Amino acid sequence: RAAEWQLDQPAWSGRLRITAKGSTAFIKLEDKTSGELFAQAPVEQFPGIAVEGVTDSSRYFVIRIEDGNGRRAFIGVGFVDRGDAFDFNVALQDHFKWVRQQSELAQQAQDLERGPKLDLGFKEGQTIKLNIANMKKKEGATGNTTRPRPAGPGGLSLLPPPPGGKSGSGERPASLPAPAQLPGTPITDSLLSWPQPAAAPAADVWGDFAKASG
């Protein structure tokens, strides 16, 4: 109980700092002017025997100080301001929360190293099967259908032009068909000497027949 202490006449007054080295926190009591160390209390666990709160106040604690030669002593410390006492508690809690997190991460890393490693490679003779039924269905749907030919007048199908033929290209045909012979009419030169047409324009691919005889 802090009420049993001589609070009006403290044996020492100064500043308090909390530092950490590894997983151990150190409560250091220092001179508020020169910073000279008065005493320190190593804390390896919180809450624990190294730091305990009193039963009748939230501003006073009992800490276990050590001199480094094996000698220990329990002393009572208190804060004038309640906010400083709150910060004292939070600083210790944050440090040991970080210690627990580091311990858990280290344990998880060890478990991963000890456990069997995941092998995603193919074993000898091992195969996999891929389902591409949808792709085959689409290919079959487009490959098996034939394009209907356009129908001509009267529902007749129009045949494609012969190979090499070009419709409407303006090229001269390779040969002209022979004149058809009517029954009973012999083919003579007089039948072939019909009047020639007028001269074609220069751009006509048939040429200029203006000087042709007959």
Per-residue pLDDT of the chain (214 residues; tens, 9 = 90+): 888 888 888 889 999 999 999 999 999 999 988 989 999 999 998 888 999 999 999 999 999 999 888 899 999 999 989 999 999 999 999 999 999 998 888 888 877 777 666 667 777 777 877 777 666 555 555 555 555 555 555 555 556 666 655 555 555 555 555 555 555 555 554 444 555 555 555 555 555 555 555 5
Residue at 80 is within a domain: yes
Of 93, 83, 89, 80, nearest in space to 15 by CA: 80
Instruction: Read off the CATH number of the domain in which 100 is found.
Output: 2.30.29.30
Residue 63 lies in a domain: yes
Evaluate whether residue 120 is within a structural domain: no
The reported pLDDT for the residue numbered 72 is 93
Q: Does residue 89 lie in a domain region?
A: yes
- Report if residue 52 sits inside a domain: yes
Q: Are 21 and 31 in contact (CB under 8 A)?
A: no
**Dist. CA 9–CA 26, nearest whole Å:** 26
* DSSP E strand boundaries for 49-179: 51-53, 60-66, 72-78
Per-residue confidence (pLDDT) for residue 130, from 0 to 100: 77
Q: Given this model, what pLDDT does residue 64 score?
A: 95
- How much is the pLDDT for 93? 93
- For residue 153, tell me if it sits in a domain: no
Residue range(s) defining the domain that contains residue 78: 2-113
**Structural domains counted in the chain:** 1
Q: Does 151 reside within a domain?
A: no
**Residue 155: its pLDDT value, please?**
53
The CA distance from 46 to 52, in Å, is 9
Q: Nearest 10 degrees: CA dihedral of 64, 69, 71, 72?
A: 0
Q: What is the pLDDT of residue 75?
A: 93
**Long-range CB contacts (< 8 A, 24+ apart) of 17-23?**
18/88, 18/91, 18/92, 18/95, 20/95, 23/99, 23/102
Please give the model's pTM, rounded to 2 decimal places: 0.50
